[in-house]
Amino acid sequence: MHKYEKIWLVFGIGALIFFLSVIGVSAFYLGNQPPSCLATIDPDKVDQTAPFNEPGLKKVEGKDWDYELVYVAQAFSYTPNEVEIPKGAKVKFIVTTKDVIHGFEVAGTNVNMMVEPGYISEKVATFDKPGEYLVLCNEYCGAGHHMMYSKIKVVDNQ
């Protein structure tokens, strides 16, 4: 075998082993997993299915987060349309859609989810800064896509 061919072979196999190790450490040691999409729902029965029968903010006890904030998305709006949450609250967003794929982005935070019919999208975030946050749809969903938004007001209760 040619000398350069050997060098490239070692380099190629080395790179393969290196990158597979990175994936292995990330998955098994750091616990990074792709979203499971295990939380499913019948998209025709969203209004009758808990917790989506009562969208909005709920205080919860004994969980890793303080509040659960339930949203129903549909062309071209979110329910609830406006929510007030206290400053510093750790909030779990629980979102589903009744019709087509929508986006769920809370501008200025790392909450940015795809909302698919039949599935429940969840994300936990903490709101330390008071102010108004825009929730917007970032998946094209039809003629009213650009009008699909909601508001979160983070208020200082002190």
Tell me which residues in 51-90 interact with ligand CUA (CB under 6 A).
76
Nearer of residues 74 and 154 to ligand CUA, judged by Cβ? 74
Q: Contact with ligand CUA (CB under 6 A): which of 87, 90, 145, 151? A: 145
- Regarding 141 and contact with ligand CUA (CB under 6 A), the answer is yes
Of the listed pieces 8-16, 27-35, 63-71, 133-141, which binds ligand CUA according to CB under 6 A? 133-141
Picking from 60, 136, 57, the residue whose alpha carbon sits closest to that of residue 93 is 57
Of the listed pieces 21-29, 45-53, 121-129, 138-146, which binds ligand CUA according to CB under 6 A? 138-146
Answer whether 100's CB lies under 8 Å from 141's CB: yes
Nearer of residues 43 and 86 to ligand CUA, judged by Cβ? 43
Tell me which residues in 12-51 interact with ligand CUA (CB under 6 A).
none
Q: Contact with ligand CUA (CB under 6 A): which of 113, 137, 152, 154? A: 137
Picking from 35, 137, 126, 123, the residue whose alpha carbon sits closest to that of residue 76 is 137
Show the binding pattern over residues 85-124: x = contacts ligand CUA (CB under 6 A), - = does not. -----------------x----------------------
What HEC string does the chain produce? CCHHHHHHHHHHHHHHHHHHHHHHHHHHHCCCCCCCCCCECCHHHHHHCCCCCCCEEEECCCCCCCEEEEEEEECCEEECCEEEEECCCEEEEEEEECCCCEEEEECCCCCEEEECCCECEEEEEECCCCEEEEEECCCCCCCCHHHCEEEEEEECCC
Q: Smallest distance from the beta carbon of 105 to ligand CUA, in angstroms?
A: 10
- The footprint of ligand CUA (CB under 6 A) covers 76, 102, 137, 139-141, 145, 148
